[in-house]
Amino acid sequence: MMFGFDPLYFIIIAPALLLAGWAQMRVRSAYTHGMQEPANLSGAAAARYILDEGGLHDVPVEEVPGELSDHYDPSTRTVRLSSGVYHTRSLAAVGIAAHEVGHALQHAHNYGPMALRAMAVPAATAGPWIFLVMFFAGLFLSASAPALGHSLIWIGIIAYSGVAVFQLINLPVEFDASNRAKRLLDEMNIVDPQGLLVVRDVLNAAAWTYVAATLQAVLTVLYYVIRFGGIGSSRDE
């Protein structure tokens, strides 16, 4: 079996695919509704206010193109907000902006899981490429040197697992940023209790996308282990 259609793969990752589809629909619904609910501040103004109140006057808030392209860049210590979030005075906008500011606060306060996530980025980035090289090298050598070929395939699977490790570390980082956002929006009276319910819906919907991505990464590693982990001893399957 090479990289082609394999029913086993879709059977294994089906729960993740279903969860991801549901999460995307929920995000779209919550975001659309939340962008229609008015707030006193725009996303940019809310981000700037929370940053300043937290003493992070040197962290800029910048506009970036795209929809739901909001993120915090730890390399430049910059909060970047999509155009809609940046300019719109809506509950979704202030909620998303506060979430990204939550990452800036994590960075400033040396939040442990965020530091671990930064350390895991190289493994998550290089892991799939290492897997491809080791996998094909292992297949090539499996006929003439089965033990070596099997070892190379396992090295590739272990390398790919860096993606799953990154996603697992990322979960508490994202959850904590959302919790910080909801708490700060409430404590600073940026949204009222009724508005906070809308913000929670938006941020909780987004959280499910991280869960889905994590589940897919873990199940993909499981598939590789089941399908290719024993190739050295079961080449005739």
Give tens-digit pLDDT for 89-106: 999 999 999 999 999 999
**Beta-bridge partner residues of 80:** 62, 71
**How far from each other are the two terminal CA atoms of the chain, in whole angstroms?**
9
The whole-angstrom separation of Cα 48 and Cα 57 is 8
Indicate the pLDDT class of residue 236, thresholds 50, 70 and 90: very low
| Least confident piece of the model among 11-20, 136-145, 177-186, 205-214 | 136-145
pTM for the model stands at 0.89
Predicted local distance difference test score (pLDDT) of residue 5: 74
Q: Give catalytic residue positions.
A: 100
**191-234 pLDDT tens trace:** 999 999 999 999 999 999 999 999 999 999 999 999 887 654 44
- Average pLDDT over the chain, rounded to whole? 93
| Element containing residue 56 per DSSP (H, E) | none
